[in-house]
Structure 1
Amino acid sequence: MRARRLLPTPTTVATPVKRFLVNQLFCIHFQQTGDIFAISAAITALRIAVKLRSRHHKDLPLLLSVLGGFHLERFRKTGRLSDIDEGISLQLKAVTLTPHSHPNLPSMLSNLGNLLFSRFKRIGEPSYADVAIEAHQKAVELTPDGAAVLPELLNNLGVAFRCRFERSGELADIAEAISAQQKAVKLIPQDHTNLPFLLGNLGNSFDSRFERTGDLSDIAEAISVQQKAVELAPQGHAHIPTLLGNLGTCYLSRFERTGEIQDIVEAISAQKKAVELTPPGDAGLPERLNNLGISLTCRYERTGELPNIAEAISTHREGVDLTSEDDAGLPVRLSNLGKSLRRRFEQTFDPSDLADAIAVQQKAVTLTPLGHADRSLMLHDLGKIFHCRFVLHGESSDLDESISSHKAAAISSSGSPRVRLEAAKTWADLATQHNHYSSAIVPAFDTAIGLLAEIAGLEQTVQGRYTQLETSSGLATMAAAAACALGRTDKAVEWLEQGRCLVWTQLSDLRTPINNLQAHDSVLAQRVADISKQLEMMASSRGTSHIDMSFEEKVSLEDEARAHLDLARQWKDLLETVRAIPEFESFLAPSACSTLLRHLPETGPVIVINVHESRCDAIALLSGREPLHIPLPNFSIEKTSKYRAILNSALQSQHLRVREADNIVATSGQLSPARDMRPAPVEAHRYNPSVHLVLRGLWEEVVKPVLDALGIPKTAEGSKRITSRVWWCPTGPLSFLPLHAAGKYGGPNSEATFDYVISSYTPSISAITDRVKNTPSIDNPISGLLLTCQPTAPGASPIPGTTNEVESILKGAKRRGVRALMLQGDEMTAVECLKQMQKFSSIHLACHGSQNASEPLRSRFLFHQGSLELGEILKSNLKHADLAYLSACQTGTGEEGLPDEAVHLAAGMLSAGYQQVVGTMWSIRDRPAQMVAVSFYEFIFTSLERSSDTLFNGTDSAYALHQATQKLRHSLDDSEYSLLTWVPFVHYGL
């Protein structure tokens, strides 16, 4: 927890008073040097001037205002509350005596706001911040555009909003702060002496928001403007220490996120210089010492060098000693001292450090009022210290205190959601480790899982939410493992559903049909529909700031961000309104297990497989039955990692052989078509047991135990069609492994998943139940098949086989009377594709695919002319979408850092509205891709022919893919090369 010193700007008043101040009261001397004697002399002289004026003298309000402002300046140097109280009294009199239309009233109101705000900073009473902001807002409203004083008034308004944000944690406040301060910087002349201070305050606000959101573009902008502020400030100016200290704080913030050692070096350098330049007795010195102490602690955590932590502790102690008991900044400084003491204890095990750490941390918590944004972090740190003592002595009372502190931090009504989430995770972890706290496990994980939605709130872009979730990956599987150990299968199901695929679920919620609400209250329903549509559009279209943008572009993006934040707030209020209506209490709320079980497929179970370091379990969800818990004692997360490594190695080896094949082809002069990989040479067909090991392990340790528990028999030889279906819903790293192809291959006892069931995948339970609940009519008004053929794309190898593939499918469609359209080459652009997707229920994309792991919404399909990004597809309102066949590479490949978020093209197409999707887990070769695609559609067309139906639909797509891949498999042997050829084809959805 660090503090940022605000940078005041001089009070602007009428010209005659300015001359009086400059010539008689040493105003400029104080502003440049910070000489306390000059400001005291000015106050004495002004008091005399005020006494010499009658109550009705025209100069009296201005003199009162200036005198109040100088009391504020002295307070900033000395920290004496008497100056603030006197200043507020004088400023109120000045405002009261000034007519509403007087041109000096805005400046007086702003000065009053500064005084009220400074008292808020000093004593921490929120009401002072509210009144201060009102005064600043009124000052800005009364100031005409173009007035020279307007930048300073906007700056002061922004500072007040930022400081209230640091007290309350309300994102709306920091958005208002940045907006006001950006306007101030834009309006002030670039050679104005106050520009450095306006920039410094703007940098502080970006840094404050970064601490809450973790958006790296914010901290980059903060450092950039702080550097500019330092460069522009006159040498020797009294506020140079403040500018340097704030710059160091920004470097510290970035170091804590990225770990770049140069950032902590820069932070300590700037902060030490700031401390050195601060004169003794300056009210800003304790804050600068506090921030320097944090940086020194961070460097110790990085290097482990004890001199760093010793220096950090002594620096924190000095800052605490210089802080009065009634200063609102004292709790933060005590808390940071406690953290440094704990860090040294963890290295030296000196009991005195531990005792001191507990004492100062408890005092910090006691002094921090309920509702303060910093309280949750202090409680979290206190819990860590108690746990240190529990580990040292084993006293159960210390464990009780630790759990209690973490719990209090987690359920706090204010504070950073990320801090509260970390506290909830620690609370849950401690309760799980010590099983006599089993009664605390459920509320702990309920709290932690619930906080994920705050971490990835709707006020952020989709990409921003993914970034936030990266550090929380694995929480849902941890919770589910604990629930299974407790015998609470219902909770395991709920936590996995709430804690996984969160972003896709949010998008789905925004598209949920509201027919029932429409019937109850059409006006409210329309409001819900309007806000949800705007939120969805904003989340995928809003840009991200970067350092090279113009200032005007950055201001525009901030305006968009504020509008987005306001929409999210309106959405929250709307949900509360709807849920207050009888029978709508659970509207768009996380589903209970019993609710999830209502709309399961009737043709087979959904199998959720939870993989965690503590245990592995399967949970079978069947229509009309309670969840069936199937422990998997022979499987582990270590085996998952091992199997993934083996499979990745095999794929890499195959890719190298493909490159060798390219060289052979080039030497021979023969053309060898490829989708993303060319055929391997004959040597590649040699038997290699690695892939067999993976598939056999998955069969024996995961799939077969599940099928046995469900009593699903192997299909008799000679049977024409397998009727049993299964929807696999793997979690964590298991999401990257092919459960649908698990089996023992080769020899007389071979058997595999496809001998028992038709396999499909689903990213989440609701992704299937929503489709069952809202199954579209077979009489789709736009029933038809859109075929795209893109054999070439800039920067990608040609895939000439796509032409034959698509032409074969088109012939089959025409032969059965199915409405179909083929677009190829230059006639297929992203715009045209989106246009045609509105007219056809199904689409076949034969092209290159590009998975963007860092920005999932920028994953795309490559065309001859441009590309079609997933984000653009999601913006389309595809009400009648049915089947999407993605005849491209890696369309079902997820992102390792977000294994439970299903950030791949196949899941994205499901989220866009398609009922079923065919994708690929890794790169596919051109000839096999053609064979599977043609066989797939032949199966569907034959089914339509049997039913005398010419309306194309993907109802039988899972069966069709099963038959097509098995047809390909039977044309090959069981070598590694052959397995890697047919295994990647996967089915998602109904």
Structure 2
Amino acid sequence: QAVAATTPDHPERAGRLSNLGAALQARFDATGAPTDLTAAVDVGRQAVAATAPGHPNRAGRLSNLGAALHIRFTQTGSPDDLDAAVEVGRQAVAATAPDHADRTMYLSNLAIALRARFERTGSPADLTAAIDAGRTGAEAPAAAPRLRAIAARGWGAAAGAGERWAEAAKGFEAAVALVGLVTPRSLARPDQEHLLGELNGLAADAAAACVRAGRVERAVELFEQGRGVLLGQALDIRTDVTELADAHPDLAHRFLRLCEDLDRAGGSAGSPPVVGGLSAPAAAPADGRPRAIVAEEFDAVMVQIRERPGFAGFLRPPPVEQLRKAAGQGPLVMVAVSRFGSCALLLTTEGVDDVPLPLLTPNAVYEQVVEFLDAFGDTARAGGTGEKRLDGILGWLWDALAGPVLDRLGIIGPPARDRGWPRVWWCVSGLLSFLPVHAAGHHDTRRGARPDTVVDRVVSSFTPSIRALLHARRTAVAGPEDGRPEDGRPKDGRPKDGRPKDGRAGRVLAVGMPRTPAMHELPGAQAETEALARRFEDRAVVLTAPRATRDAVMTALRASEWAHFACHGIAEIADPSASRLVLYDRPLSVADLTPLRLERAELAFLSACETARPGGRLADEAIHLASAFQLAGFRHVIATLWLISDSVAVDLADQIYATLAAGGDPASAVHQATRDLRDYLPRRPALWASHIHAGA
């Protein structure tokens, strides 16, 4: 109506046509109606025709038309539309000054169209032009970091499409380097998450390109740097500053104060930071300064620290030599799922090896996750085939991933009776995070000498990143406010890893919600907390309704070494920071846990549903309750991948705590309980494969 009410010679007609075209394209995106897309192209052409050469908005309207034409090509396969998209894309770039902030966006759109035409025709000229457009856009200093990162990713993708692997690695390397600028600390958490969603899968593509280029160690570094970005920022402000404090105590205290202020500015007040034996001065006020101001001061202090001799690498992405320290207790398996060739990066103390995984394509992973979610829903229906379908998925995981990895590591069967179980840490990304890699296998082979099953060969643990694993293994140190000696060893004789010599816990928090308003009852929650009270006696602090309030739990967490939650858990796939444990008055969410600094924390047992399930769009960020408890300070977290059986949870918890009381470690306790339940209910993977161990 606005266009119809505007005369052909009206100066606003082109703008209104352009707005109509954008609205039509948005409706096509929502509904898939081809008539809307055709109308968007027609209106876009009218908008360009109504815009005079030299007009400041002409380039943008040309680029929008090119995007609509490219989308229509993907729907119809019409080469004329693709040729037109390339042509108007080139006109948009030519109509833009080299230092214009939007030029990078136009270059990205052009690169996409050129790459599509190369993939259709094989034209080397189009491939070179697509790479050049992406590279030029990525290197434009006037553009926003987000646009530069998208252009750099396009640069890498174009080179990868032409199997120019060295060039592809450079493009993806540039994109990963920009990720931190895309999500600066000055942004609120929801804004950071939104922007990161546009870069999902970048780290896997970067790793795959580096492997194809023969740069395997660089693949590890980029896979680590390009995922878990928000987790990495949070770990930055939990870093050990002992060396900095020894050399420059004033800078160390300023750094710690700003770390605390960043948490306060983020909206959730946590405990003051206690890092490397130092705590920030207690007198600092919560002055309510905007987060942007705090972030600016933080960045300025970082520059000052890095200018000091010996601190140039402070909080920079760690090199592979430092990352290899995490493999001291067993190999790390970093799994990159990419259209450029999926692979597993095996990080050991000897170096890095790569295992090609040709069956683990992005499409195959997507199909298996869809099948998994549907099959799991089918397990609750009488006569359903859900369990059989889940068993098939476990077999596929073995064939596509776990089998080739364990064979390459030389772990081909159970250990000898006089040998301990080997350990493996899995670091998975994207949609693969939804699947139970630790339970992969053909379980009808479990009794053979060389079983094709993970649980009959290794003890599995998970980590969202290598840095998170190193954080979980940090030496437990604390200041005088803990009443601990200066060497960090607690008065009760616990070693610095926090686990008592006799295998028993210090203070244990047990939270149980057997009855929750508007939710089904969990009688097992009461059984779990009562069992903990009997087992740990005067060391147990039991909070059940009505005492299990959010504030009471948060307070008790700060004084506890072990924490057990038997309650409802809710994973929010679309908003993972809102995933939560349901308490008496208010839930305990990921966002609530993120600011906590619990140096005494050892083990969190999350006996609730879906506590390790990631977000869909943000699967690379590993945002879930398990990682939140790790970030808060717990070295070990026992969590669940899906909805769990109330009665089975009671038995599993009892067996796991019995193993711990006998001196076992949490990972081995979960492994043994899983194997025993698998042997008892081999055809019920929904019951026996739900629990995982994450952390040290």
One-letter code aligned to 2:651:
M
For residues 651 and 615 of structure 2, the distance between their equivalents in structure 1, rounded to whole angstroms, comes to 28
For residues 82-231 of structure 1, what are the structure 2 equivalents within 5 Å?
none
The aligned residue for residue 428 of structure 1 is 156
SS for the counterpart of 1:627 is strand
Alignment CA distance shift 1:525-1:720 (3 Å): same
For residues 793 and 873 of structure 1, the distance between their equivalents in structure 2, rounded to whole angstroms, comes to 21
Q: Deviations over 1:695-749 (max 9, x none)?
A: 22222332222122111242257x3774311111122222111121122223654
Alignment CA distance shift 1:892-1:304 (3 Å): same
For residues 52 and 444 of structure 2, the distance between their equivalents in structure 1, rounded to whole angstroms, comes to 74
Alignment CA distance shift 1:351-1:796 (3 Å): closer
Which runs of no fewer than 5 residues in structure 2 stay unpaired? 29-34, 270-286, 478-488, 499-504
Task: Please report how far the alpha carbon of residue 538 of structure 1 lies from its aligned counterpart in structure 2 after TM superposition.
Answer: 2.2
Alignment CA distance shift 1:331-1:405 (3 Å): farther
For residues 386 and 376 of structure 1, the distance between their equivalents in structure 2, rounded to whole angstroms, comes to 15
The aligned residue for residue 456 of structure 2 is 755
The aligned residue for residue 520 of structure 2 is 797
The aligned residue for residue 199 of structure 2 is 472
For residues 334-349 of structure 1, what are the structure 2 equivalents within 5 Å?
334-337=59-62, 339-340=64-65, 349=80
SS for the counterpart of 2:621 is coil
The aligned residue for residue 743 of structure 1 is 441
SS for the counterpart of 1:754 is coil
The aligned residue for residue 657 of structure 2 is 937
Asked if the contact 1:916–1:988 (Cα under 8 Å) also holds between the matched residues in 2, the reply is yes
The aligned residue for residue 472 of structure 2 is 771
Task: Please report how far the alpha carbon of residue 338 of structure 1 lies from its aligned counterpart in structure 2 after TM superposition.
Answer: 5.5
For residues 927 and 699 of structure 1, the distance between their equivalents in structure 2, rounded to whole angstroms, comes to 29
For residues 57 and 512 of structure 2, the distance between their equivalents in structure 1, rounded to whole angstroms, comes to 62
Task: Please report how far the alpha carbon of residue 927 of structure 1 lies from its aligned counterpart in structure 2 after TM superposition.
Answer: 1.8
Task: Please report how far the alpha carbon of residue 344 of structure 1 lies from its aligned counterpart in structure 2 after TM superposition.
Answer: 5.4
Does 1 or 2 have the higher relative contact order (CA < 8 Å, sep 6+)? Answer: 2
Q: Deviations over 1:673-704 (max 9, x none)?
A: xxxxxxxxxx78x9963222222222233222
For residues 393 and 688 of structure 1, the distance between their equivalents in structure 2, rounded to whole angstroms, comes to 46
One-letter code aligned to 1:710:
L
For residues 872-891 of structure 1, what are the structure 2 equivalents within 5 Å?
872-891=592-611
The aligned residue for residue 985 of structure 1 is 691
Matched, 1:724 2:422: yes
Aligned residue among 14, 26, 33 for 1:289: 14
Task: Please report how far the alpha carbon of residue 362 of structure 1 lies from its aligned counterpart in structure 2 after TM superposition.
Answer: 4.6
Task: Please report how far the alpha carbon of residue 884 of structure 1 lies from its aligned counterpart in structure 2 after TM superposition.
Answer: 0.3
Task: Please report how far the alpha carbon of residue 562 of structure 1 lies from its aligned counterpart in structure 2 after TM superposition.
Answer: 8.3
For residues 773-922 of structure 1, what are the structure 2 equivalents within 5 Å?
773-774=474-475, 778-779=494-495, 783-814=506-537, 819-922=539-642
The aligned residue for residue 596 of structure 1 is 323
Alignment CA distance shift 1:349-1:837 (3 Å): same
For normalisation by structure 1, the TM-score amounts to 0.60
For residues 591 and 689 of structure 1, the distance between their equivalents in structure 2, rounded to whole angstroms, comes to 43
Aligned residue among 432, 436, 445 for 1:734: 432
SS for the counterpart of 1:865 is coil
SS for the counterpart of 1:630 is strand
Matched, 1:409 2:137: yes
The aligned residue for residue 694 of structure 1 is 393
Matched, 1:925 2:645: yes
For residues 70-81 of structure 1, what are the structure 2 equivalents within 5 Å?
none
One-letter code aligned to 1:312:
G
Task: Please report how far the alpha carbon of residue 921 of structure 1 lies from its aligned counterpart in structure 2 after TM superposition.
Answer: 0.9
Instruction: Between 955-964 and 777-786, report the one with greater CA deviation.
Output: 777-786
For residues 344 and 111 of structure 2, the distance between their equivalents in structure 1, rounded to whole angstroms, comes to 34
Q: What percentage of aligned pairs have identical amino acids?
A: 27
Task: Please report how far the alpha carbon of residue 931 of structure 1 lies from its aligned counterpart in structure 2 after TM superposition.
Answer: 0.9
Asked if the contact 1:763–1:902 (Cα under 8 Å) also holds between the matched residues in 2, the reply is yes
One-letter code aligned to 1:533:
E
Task: Please report how far the alpha carbon of residue 561 of structure 1 lies from its aligned counterpart in structure 2 after TM superposition.
Answer: 11
Alignment CA distance shift 1:764-1:973 (3 Å): same
Aligned residues: 641
Task: Please report how far the alpha carbon of residue 500 of structure 1 lies from its aligned counterpart in structure 2 after TM superposition.
Answer: 1.3
Asked if the contact 2:89–2:109 (Cα under 8 Å) also holds between the matched residues in 1, the reply is no
Asked if the contact 1:342–1:357 (Cα under 8 Å) also holds between the matched residues in 2, the reply is no
Asked if the contact 1:309–1:340 (Cα under 8 Å) also holds between the matched residues in 2, the reply is yes
Aligned residue among 302, 317, 333 for 1:575: 302
SS for the counterpart of 2:328 is coil
For residues 192 and 312 of structure 2, the distance between their equivalents in structure 1, rounded to whole angstroms, comes to 26
Asked if the contact 1:290–1:333 (Cα under 8 Å) also holds between the matched residues in 2, the reply is no
The aligned residue for residue 403 of structure 2 is 704
Alignment CA distance shift 1:502-1:561 (3 Å): farther
The aligned residue for residue 529 of structure 1 is 256
Task: Please report how far the alpha carbon of residue 386 of structure 1 lies from its aligned counterpart in structure 2 after TM superposition.
Answer: 5.6
Alignment CA distance shift 1:561-1:377 (3 Å): farther
One-letter code aligned to 1:621:
L
Asked if the contact 1:313–1:341 (Cα under 8 Å) also holds between the matched residues in 2, the reply is no
Asked if the contact 2:40–2:68 (Cα under 8 Å) also holds between the matched residues in 1, the reply is no
The aligned residue for residue 275 of structure 2 is none
Matched, 1:357 2:55: no
For residues 584 and 289 of structure 2, the distance between their equivalents in structure 1, rounded to whole angstroms, comes to 38
For residues 400 and 709 of structure 1, the distance between their equivalents in structure 2, rounded to whole angstroms, comes to 38
The CA RMSD measured in Å over matched residues stands at: 3.2
The aligned residue for residue 501 of structure 2 is none
The aligned residue for residue 620 of structure 1 is 346
One-letter code aligned to 1:807:
E
For residues 423-572 of structure 1, what are the structure 2 equivalents within 5 Å?
423-435=151-163, 437-541=164-268, 563-572=290-299
For residues 355 and 985 of structure 1, the distance between their equivalents in structure 2, rounded to whole angstroms, comes to 51
Q: Which has the larger radius of gyration?
A: 1
Asked if the contact 1:406–1:424 (Cα under 8 Å) also holds between the matched residues in 2, the reply is yes
Alignment CA distance shift 1:847-1:720 (3 Å): farther
The aligned residue for residue 959 of structure 1 is 668
For residues 59 and 669 of structure 2, the distance between their equivalents in structure 1, rounded to whole angstroms, comes to 67
Alignment CA distance shift 1:800-1:521 (3 Å): same
Instruction: Between 397-406 and 294-303, report the one with greater CA deviation.
Output: 294-303
SS for the counterpart of 1:880 is coil
Q: Deviations over 1:590-620 (max 9, x none)?
A: 22222211x2142211111222234221111
One-letter code aligned to 2:511:
T
SS for the counterpart of 1:845 is strand
SS for the counterpart of 1:620 is strand
The aligned residue for residue 31 of structure 2 is none
For residues 915 and 589 of structure 1, the distance between their equivalents in structure 2, rounded to whole angstroms, comes to 23
The aligned residue for residue 42 of structure 1 is none
The aligned residue for residue 973 of structure 1 is 681
The aligned residue for residue 155 of structure 1 is none
Task: Please report how far the alpha carbon of residue 886 of structure 1 lies from its aligned counterpart in structure 2 after TM superposition.
Answer: 0.6
For residues 561 and 374 of structure 1, the distance between their equivalents in structure 2, rounded to whole angstroms, comes to 35
Q: Deviations over 1:121-158 (max 9, x none)?
A: xxxxxxxxxxxxxxxxxxxxxxxxxxxxxxxxxxxxxx
One-letter code aligned to 1:699:
W
Aligned residue among 357, 373, 379 for 1:648: 373
Asked if the contact 1:339–1:357 (Cα under 8 Å) also holds between the matched residues in 2, the reply is no
For residues 359 and 642 of structure 1, the distance between their equivalents in structure 2, rounded to whole angstroms, comes to 37
Alignment CA distance shift 1:654-1:352 (3 Å): closer
For residues 739 and 788 of structure 1, the distance between their equivalents in structure 2, rounded to whole angstroms, comes to 29
Alignment CA distance shift 1:433-1:794 (3 Å): same
One-letter code aligned to 2:392:
L
For residues 635 and 358 of structure 2, the distance between their equivalents in structure 1, rounded to whole angstroms, comes to 35
Asked if the contact 1:290–1:316 (Cα under 8 Å) also holds between the matched residues in 2, the reply is no
Alignment CA distance shift 1:797-1:406 (3 Å): same
Task: Please report how far the alpha carbon of residue 360 of structure 1 lies from its aligned counterpart in structure 2 after TM superposition.
Answer: 3.6
The aligned residue for residue 144 of structure 1 is none
Alignment CA distance shift 1:539-1:703 (3 Å): same
